[in-house]
Amino acid sequence: MRALVASDRLSLEDLDKAARGESDGRVRTRILSIRYMRQGHSAREAARVFPISDTQLGMWVRRYDAEGLEGLRDRPRPGRPPILDPAKEEAFRERVRTGPAEAEGLAAYRGEDVRRLLKSEFGSDYSISGTYFLLHRLGFSSLVPRPVHPKADPAAQAAFKKGAS
């Protein structure tokens, strides 16, 4: 393995300042490992002091040499595209926030009701756990006050309460 040496793009003081100002702990560790190597330590020693593999350290050194401090930041990862189109997300949020329509005959949405709504109105097929995850991500909570049924008769309820006491 050939010797791995970090370029002298920045002085040790500049690397110190960058590490102190960095809020992301992973990036801070990468900066400090580059600084440690710049002080004359080998890549193997740096990998031992900062618990990362030699291979990973080599990757960070090459990215630092090519791109500077920006090369030490995490890059976006592709991941799976969302089932609900981000353009439809705000419309869905408003639809859930307004609650069930009178014609739906529901007092409040349950997870299965929201799942059905996603399928019928937004063309997105979610599992029940995926539905709850989406609701949580959009800031909704499953804790709701006791619902009032749309066909409830307040006068009949008051008469019932008077007769019960």
pLDDT at 2: 57
Q: What is the mean pLDDT, run by run of 10 residues, along the chain of 165 residues?
A: 71 91 93 92 90 91 91 91 91 92 85 94 94 94 76 91 78
DSSP tally for the chain: helices H, then strands E: 8, 0
Contacts 24+ apart (CB under 8 A), 18-25: 18/69, 24/73, 24/74
**pTM check: above 0.95:** no
d(CA 128, CA 108): 16
pLDDT at 1: 47
Q: Where are the domains of the chain?
A: 12-72, 80-143
